[in-house]
């Protein structure tokens, strides 16, 4: 079974018609992984026996014709807790950690009948934009194996792009779903902050983190978001309002829709001119379909990167204090005192990038720098959020490139942390503002996929999906298949 040719609804129909059993589907997943993952390196852990047992059970109980996701396979980013299945955050400090509970999103997927096939690689603790910061594995881009899949959810993106699985979950703190989706030609959603419960997500930047789906098509994406959204008593920051059906009105088109084009997001002098050209062509198409295109400004965009790196790192330095070598996780063998347990376990267990962020965060929160760093960044965040709110008084959605380059060479940026940070310039303001944003494929630059993000108002994912769906129907970028060229 080649997933690249089928949507979730098509797979569901085959299961309902008994053209295909859940077990056959699951066996084909592991055959796909066996065939391609030695080259791609998306998975850190597979749970084949449990998945096949769950598929057998689904077949025995019969596929629910009203439940489109039942019996379908899904992959989970390895910073999302799965009961009884190793969850590493791609860190040495959690290499042997086995959670005793499921994250809320995993519970919800199970309730919907989806079957988790395994855990996907990421930058350690989701800190990075290339998955090269994984302490456990290198993941490659199926469109060119010498290139990165993006990050931090690089494994989640690579597995779906390679056709190993039809859908995966990732997490997005500063672009970690949208950027890899863009690098691998997929649809990736960063929902509104609070839309999806963070319970069981290994915390990085708690006021920014959101879980969201990677899929090949827009409707598939909405179907999965339907299932993972909702209020959760175990996450006090989860949204108390209602969850709509995100597929509702998806086919209504963009006639009369006001699409804002934030001028700060169009770097006309960028090296890869194809990116801005592709997004401009998409805007032209929207215009032909009856949308109104309005140039807008988000004047504080340039402060997104500094504000983000202070806030995310400060929150991370606090969140990662729990890794103390005592209750769980790596413990150094080089111990003489209690202090040694903390210092040695952390110093041996964390990788370089994680240490860098903890250090930046600790510095930004330390007395003497708190006002100039953390407080100032929080104020900048307010101005960035207000930029979006003001703009959305006039337009329904914003459309812009997701990234300033397509996927880069493995090893190309890893020695220059600052260059890696700057690459997040078009994705971090969305997290700071808490608004939702979806990246969809919108073209190619020298055979590498280009992503376009559609940013919406708080809790208005529906309009985003509607806008994305109209574009997808009118184009065929999502039907192109990766070549698996390059690499060693």
Partner 1 sequence: MAINEETVKQVAKLAKLEIEEESIHTFTKELDRIVDMVEQLEELDTEGVEGTYHGLPQKNVWREDKVQQGTDREALFKNVKTRKDGYIEVPAMFDNGGSEA
- # binding residues, partner 1 (CB under 8 A): 70
Strand pairing partners for 188?
Answer: 214, 439
Give the 3-state secondary structure of residue 456. strand
> By C-alpha distance, which of 4, 342, 326 is closest to 142?
4
With binding defined as CB under 8 A, does residue 327 bind partner 1?
Answer: yes
With binding defined as CB under 8 A, does residue 193 bind partner 1?
Answer: yes
Shortest CB 458 distance to partner 1, Å = 8
Strand pairing partners for 201?
Answer: 80
Site for partner 1 (CB under 8 A): which residue of 57, 343, 474, 486?
Answer: 343
Binding mask 269-308 for partner 1 (x = CB under 8 A): -------------------------------x-xx-xxx-
Residue 426 near residue 453, CB atoms below 8 Å? yes
Tell me, yes or no, if 190 is annotated catalytic.
no
Residues 400-459 that bind partner 1 (CB under 8 A): 417-418, 421, 432, 434
Q: What is the DSSP letter of 319?
A: H
Q: What is the DSSP letter of 455?
A: E
Shortest CB 62 distance to partner 1, Å = 31
Shortest CB 43 distance to partner 1, Å = 22
Catalytic: which of 70, 81, 168, 176?
176
With binding defined as CB under 8 A, does residue 101 bind partner 1?
Answer: yes
Q: Which is nearer to partner 1, 111 or 382 (CB)?
A: 382
Report d(CA 152, CA 132) in Å as an integer.
Answer: 9
Tell me, yes or no, if 77 is annotated catalytic.
yes
Classify burial at 404, counting beta carbons within 10 Å of its beta carbon; exposed 0-12, middle 13-18, buried 19 or more.
middle
With binding defined as CB under 8 A, does residue 336 bind partner 1?
Answer: yes
Rg (CA), the chain: 21
Catalytic: which of 81, 91, 134, 152?
152
Catalytic: which of 77, 108, 147, 457?
77
Report d(CA 485, CA 488) in Å as an integer.
Answer: 10
Shortest CB 179 distance to partner 1, Å = 19
User: Can you say whether the dihedral through the CA atoms of 348, 421, 88, 238 is positive or negative?
Assistant: positive
With binding defined as CB under 8 A, does residue 207 bind partner 1?
Answer: yes
* Backbone φ, ψ for residue 182 (5° rounding): -65, -40
How many Å from the N-terminal Cα to the C-terminal Cα in the chain?
27
Q: What is the DSSP letter of 373?
A: I
With binding defined as CB under 8 A, does residue 322 bind partner 1?
Answer: no
Residues 215-244 that bind partner 1 (CB under 8 A): 233, 236-237, 239-240
Shortest CB 427 distance to partner 1, Å = 15
User: In the sheet that 292-296 helps form, which strands lie side by side, from edge to edge?
Assistant: 43-46, 115-120, 73-77, 168-172, 210-215, 187-190, 437-445, 448-456, 397-401, 258-262, 292-296
Report d(CA 1, CA 73) in Å as an integer.
Answer: 12
Region of 261-269, 278-286, 322-330, 465-473 interacting with partner 1 (CB under 8 A): 322-330
With binding defined as CB under 8 A, does residue 30 bind partner 1?
Answer: no
Q: Which is nearer to partner 1, 66 or 327 (CB)?
A: 327
Phi/psi class of residue 447: alpha, beta or left (left: φ > 0; alpha: ψ in -120 to 50)? left
Residues 353-392 that bind partner 1 (CB under 8 A): 355-356, 358-360, 362-364, 366, 372-373, 375-383, 385
Shortest CB 163 distance to partner 1, Å = 34
Footprint on this chain of partner 1 (rule: CB under 8 A): 96-98, 100-101, 193-194, 206-208, 233, 236-237, 239-240, 300, 302-303, 305-307, 309-310, 317, 321, 324, 326-329, 331, 335-344, 346-347, 350, 355-356, 358-360, 362-364, 366, 372-373, 375-383, 385, 417-418, 421, 432, 434
Catalytic residues: 77, 152, 176
């Amino acid at each position: 079974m080649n997933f690249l040719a089928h949507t979730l609804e098509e797979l569901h129909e085959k299961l309902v018609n008994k053209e295909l059993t859940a077990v056959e589907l699951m066996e084909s997943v592991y055959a796909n992984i066996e065939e391609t993952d030695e080259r791609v390196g998306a998975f850190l852990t597979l749970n084949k026996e449990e998945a096949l047992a769950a598929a057998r059970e689904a077949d025995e109980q019969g596929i629910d014709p009203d439940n489109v996701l039942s019996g379908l396979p899904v992959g989970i980013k390895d910073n999302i807790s799965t009961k009884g299945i190793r969850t590493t955050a791609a860190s040495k400090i959690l290499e042997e950690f086995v959670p005793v509970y499921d994250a809320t999103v995993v519970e919800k997927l199970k309730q919907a009948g989806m079957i988790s096939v395994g855990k996907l690689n990421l930058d350690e603790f989701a800190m990075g934009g290339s998955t090269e910061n994984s302490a456990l594995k290198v993941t490659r881009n199926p469109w060119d194996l010498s290139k990165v899949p993006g990050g931090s959810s690089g494994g989640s993106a690579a597995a779906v792009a390679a056709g190993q699985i039809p859908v995966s979950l990732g997490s997005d703190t500063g672009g970690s779903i949208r950027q890899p989706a863009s690098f691998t030609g997929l649809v990736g959603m960063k929902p509104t902050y609070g839309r999806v419960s963070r319970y069981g997500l290994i915390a990085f930047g708690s006021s920014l983190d959101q879980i969201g789906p990677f899929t090949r098509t827009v409707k598939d994406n909405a179907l999965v978001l339907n299932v993972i959204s909702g209020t959760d008593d175990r996450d006090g920051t989860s949204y108390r309002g209602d969850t709509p059906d995100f597929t509702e009105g998806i086919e209504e088109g963009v006639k009369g829709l006001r699409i804002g084009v934030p001028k700060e997001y169009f770097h006309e002098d960028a090296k890869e001119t194809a990116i801005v050209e592709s997004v401009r062509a998409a805007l032209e198409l929207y215009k032909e379909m009856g949308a109104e295109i309005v140039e807008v400004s988000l004047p504080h965009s340039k402060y997104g990167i500094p504000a983000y790196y202070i806030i995310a790192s400060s929150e991370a330095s606090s969140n990662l204090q729990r890794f103390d070598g005592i209750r769980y996780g790596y413990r150094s063998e080089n111990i003489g005192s209690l202090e040694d347990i903390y210092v040695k376990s952390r110093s041996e267990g964390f990788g370089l990038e994680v240490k860098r962020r903890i250090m930046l965060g600790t510095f930004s929160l330390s007395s003497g720098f708190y006002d100039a760093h953390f407080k100032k960044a929080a104020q900048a965040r307010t101005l960035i959020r207000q930029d979006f709110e003001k703009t959305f008084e006039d337009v329904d959605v914003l459309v812009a490139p997701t990234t300033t380059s397509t996927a880069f060479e493995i090893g190309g940026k890893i020695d220059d942390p600052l260059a890696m940070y700057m690459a997040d310039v078009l994705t971090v303001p969305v997290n700071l503002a808490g608004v939702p944003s979806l990246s969809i494929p919108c073209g190619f630059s020298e055979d590498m996929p280009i992503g376009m993000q559609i940013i919406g108002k708080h809790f208005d994912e529906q309009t985003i999906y509607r806008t994305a769906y109209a574009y997808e129907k009118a184009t065929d970028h999502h039907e192109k298949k990766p070549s698996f060229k390059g690499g060693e």
